Structure 1
């Protein structure tokens, strides 16, 4: 039986921080071998995020209990992705029910078992061969080895040695790991963390004997052949400022996706799920809980970026540009979501809110929603990431007359070389802005130069028109864009104006029309006049909860032009905020006659 060894709050804190720093060192390698549950190449990034949060936010408090609580909260708040949230629950369990000012080698095993238990309980469908397998192995190894050694140091060294051998076995527990001859990225991160933890406790340097460089070369040979077939597109995470029943949450959410993990600390609960409907996840959680923050990552886009060679030019636009998802994927257009603030909760346009939900929230809340400008830091971070995948970036923003988005992107772009990042004010919005971005993306696919794409885009924006039929002015009144008196008058005379954009990018009233039927006819008549005068190269249609009239408009335009639209798509919630429920719009690029 080994002598009792007591670990103080300082010992535990230092050991956890040391393990965290060791994980950060292998961030890139973890990203490279990330093939499960989806090949989106972000396990290293996610594990680095949680480890950085622990290092920067956890503090040594008056007692061991409070110190561990600080570490647990930092872990949960900083957790990202499947592995990050599962690891945060291991930390949470490890810190539970500590009433002494130390942890000795006897109750260390109990705390590690609690860590495994809480991590396991957080997962809807635990899978062997992953991080959870190594968590269970750790406390089992420690329990089996506790009476076999003469010293605490000898004991921990042997535990660490056996755990590393268990890691190597996991590649045969999952078919995809065996196929590519790699261990699970999350499992490796956990083993590296424990290696650093034990080394700190023993005052030794970590011995990460994992042959990282050799394995990286092996992975590089197969990385382009990994199947990118992702069933659920969006990795969605929601932090709740409340501690609620995990079992109930799982029952409410499991129907919307997979990879469901729910973690908690003493103060917060965090939900992670892969889903195709992040807006539905937020809606369900918002009903009975206080949402603190949300995060959504497009795993299909991440996979495309991570598994292709560096491309020449990236086309980036904001979410106000209404483009259908099929076209976005086909042309690999990058989208920056604009934020909406509704009742002090931030929603991401086209991700965590849809237009039916928006109209419902507008009617339920006294305070009218507001859009919020993206932060310069968030844009710089996005551009930094895109620079890893593209040599040059062309940014096409919503009209600077309608939003500060252009100014934010312009300020962020100043941090980069002018020959690498260029910002274009589209002087448009919605599908008009979308058609401009699509044309630029097509030029990139046709191998036009950076300068050619920029010059053509600047010229083409003057050849794009948009016509918006507004069905109700209620939102414009609520948003303060027109007076209440004018709104009442417009309703009395049944005013349904046609809105457009002038050459400077300002919104204008194109036609004042009385009656909904007349306004629908007017939008067709205005388009027909333009078609006869200029011709039309292509067009697109958008709507706010009004697909029926959008299809009706499509039929009418096909009769005039014998051309099908590029697409019909839901409008951005930013557009819906002002255009109102039932709005429809058509945008077109003038033809050769222009």
Structure 2
């Protein structure tokens, strides 16, 4: 049946699919990053921005296309990173303005909305340059506006306009000499084209999934850039998010103009995202704070980023791969370019891709409303093979660190897949003998080693050290989920329910769950959990902690607060457990993982 209109759910799913495609191509975008500064982070910044957009989309339950577009715009503005991320934020802001008041949009309404989006994207830039993402957005929007009446449906319109955007992308080196010299197209523009590729894939297939490797043809393309950090005039990529009332964006733009270049002031009269390359980041923050509350701000040293990106073409030769039972703050997956193979979560006949098409919030809402118990299924060897081959595009070697083999068959699937790709990439597969944030700490340890340029043997050695030394202690609020998944027998589970027991568990050296203690109330369980961690972490140096929870943010905040106070820590990261783990742990579960020397 032809798709002749966009409603909220269609727009939401299309953008999520586009975000998945862009995130998949993050590393390639980093490799071709030349303009405005060759600091090798365009892919990371666009991926972080679109991850925020995708989360906003997933959490929006409204069916109107305008409400979804507002959620996209708000999430993009909050999560925008870097030059291209700020432009994307203004693009979504314009799209929401163009769709204002619409429950659904036909192709004519969509054409008008993308024209508004293209116009506002350009207006946000102090000194717009041709041959960048702005050019491709403009050419794409112009094509849609000129052709929408001549096509039958949205898939055809997106297909044909993608071709126009790709042609515009291929012309970017003609418009920016720095691109021609480096032998690449503009990275931001390429990212926008990848976004459209994901949208088209969803329009044609109706599925949100990793796009097959068959259409990837970039290999190890990397911009030809000499290491010359001294050529970067303005050292700091400075970003700020301001919330206020009646913010005069033009006046703000004029005040910041003399402080640097690559300036973008995006957003509305109540919320503004600022991006500028400058040598005076503190002055930027001071001016921004005059217009409202400074919600977050950051400055990145682009000279340092440039040196790390270009001093050694093979600096990070080892790719890091894991599965979705690995819990890390979402930005860490992108920051360290960790590839993830997702588990499938199902409610009856309805299946979801863990951490991709279902968020933790969605999962617990469905769990409360559903009459069907959720289940999980491990990734197939083919799922791992696809990710391995994707890694082979830019890496000679890879390390896969997988959920405990004693808890799941996922490890076996990863090992089988590794045997099929040995001619493409050298893959080592490690049994983490753990799960959740403990697996997260192991993966982050390996990723930091890989980022530093360590060899596969060195990264593997560091991961093995982390596997031996990491500790996970967790509590569950009830045993019902453990009984459903077969982790606890009906007899023992029935007794625990009768006594209102709150088990406190760990993962032992064999990678199996083991009961450490029992409590008779949630409050007592939290206190016992903290005391166990204090005792076991005593005497260790350089401690790293992480807290996870299953729809229990107050419990997580309590645990993190206790850790900060006792160990005199500035921060303890908190993250949600994956929906797949939530199936087995149940609502109210919470965990502490720590790693020390």
Counterpart Cα distance in 2 of 1:190 and 1:529: 62
Aligned to 1:294: 208
Counterpart Cα distance in 1 of 2:435 and 2:393: 29
Contact 2:173 2:186 in 1 (8 A): no
Query: Quick one: which of 569, 577, 582 aligns to 2:583?
Result: 577
The runs of 5 or more residues in structure 2 that have no matched partner are 1-27, 35-41, 45-104, 119-137, 151-159, 212-216, 223-308
What RMSD in Å do the two structures reach over aligned CA positions? Answer: 4.6
Distance 1:457 1:340, change over 3 A: same
Aligned to 1:368: 373
Counterpart Cα distance in 2 of 1:334 and 1:325: 12
Deviation at 1:580, TM superposition (A): 1.2
Residue 464 of structure 1 pairs with residue 470 of structure 2: yes
**Within 5 Å, which residues of 2 pair with 1:78-477?**
125-127=113-115, 130=139, 186-187=163-164, 219=179, 221=181, 226=186, 228=188, 293-295=207-209, 311-417=316-422, 420-477=426-483
Deviation digits for residues 116-151 of structure 1 (CA, Å, limit 9, x no counterpart): x9865665734485467558878999xxxxxxxxxx
Distance 1:408 1:549, change over 3 A: same
Counterpart Cα distance in 1 of 2:476 and 2:171: 63
Counterpart Cα distance in 2 of 1:520 and 1:233: 48
TM-score (norm. length: structure 2)? 0.53
Contact 2:162 2:197 in 1 (8 A): no
Counterpart Cα distance in 2 of 1:232 and 1:499: 46
Aligned to 1:517: 523
Distance 1:216 1:503, change over 3 A: farther
Contact 1:33 1:185 in 2 (8 A): no
What secondary structure does 2:448 align onto?
A: helix
Counterpart Cα distance in 2 of 1:560 and 1:346: 43
Distance 1:215 1:343, change over 3 A: farther
Contact 1:237 1:296 in 2 (8 A): no
Distance 1:449 1:132, change over 3 A: closer
Which region of structure 1 is more displaced relative to structure 2, 516-525 or 442-451?
442-451
Deviation digits for residues 33-68 of structure 1 (CA, Å, limit 9, x no counterpart): 999xxx879xxxxxxxxxxxxxxxxxxxxxxxxxxx
Counterpart Cα distance in 1 of 2:591 and 2:106: 51
Contact 2:32 2:187 in 1 (8 A): no
Contact 2:111 2:141 in 1 (8 A): no
Deviation at 1:556, TM superposition (A): 1.2
Deviation digits for residues 49-99 of structure 1 (CA, Å, limit 9, x no counterpart): xxxxxxxxxxxxxxxxxxxxxxxxxxxxxxxxxxxxxxxxxxxxxxxxxxx
Deviation at 1:439, TM superposition (A): 0.6
Counterpart Cα distance in 2 of 1:582 and 1:493: 18
Counterpart Cα distance in 1 of 2:196 and 2:499: 46
Deviation at 1:262, TM superposition (A): 9.4
Distance 1:233 1:528, change over 3 A: farther
The runs of 5 or more residues in structure 1 that have no matched partner are 1-29, 42-116, 142-182, 192-209, 239-260, 264-269, 273-290
Distance 1:399 1:554, change over 3 A: same
Deviation digits for residues 355-396 of structure 1 (CA, Å, limit 9, x no counterpart): 232223223333322212222223222221221122211111
What secondary structure does 1:294 align onto?
A: coil
Counterpart Cα distance in 1 of 2:145 and 2:542: 65
Distance 1:126 1:527, change over 3 A: closer
Which region of structure 1 is more displaced relative to structure 2, 361-370 or 228-237?
228-237
Deviation at 1:333, TM superposition (A): 2.0
Aligned to 2:548: 542
Counterpart Cα distance in 1 of 2:471 and 2:317: 30
Counterpart Cα distance in 2 of 1:339 and 1:394: 22
How many positions carry a matched residue from both structures? 374
What secondary structure does 2:429 align onto?
A: strand
Deviation digits for residues 402-430 of structure 1 (CA, Å, limit 9, x no counterpart): 12211111111112338721111111100
Counterpart Cα distance in 2 of 1:326 and 1:33: 21
Aligned to 2:278: none
Deviation at 1:321, TM superposition (A): 0.8
Deviation at 1:228, TM superposition (A): 4.8
Deviation digits for residues 274-308 of structure 1 (CA, Å, limit 9, x no counterpart): xxxxxxxxxxxxxxxxx9633378xxxx99x9877
What secondary structure does 1:423 align onto?
A: strand
Counterpart Cα distance in 2 of 1:233 and 1:497: 50
Deviation at 1:339, TM superposition (A): 1.6
Distance 1:124 1:495, change over 3 A: farther
Counterpart Cα distance in 2 of 1:185 and 1:395: 35
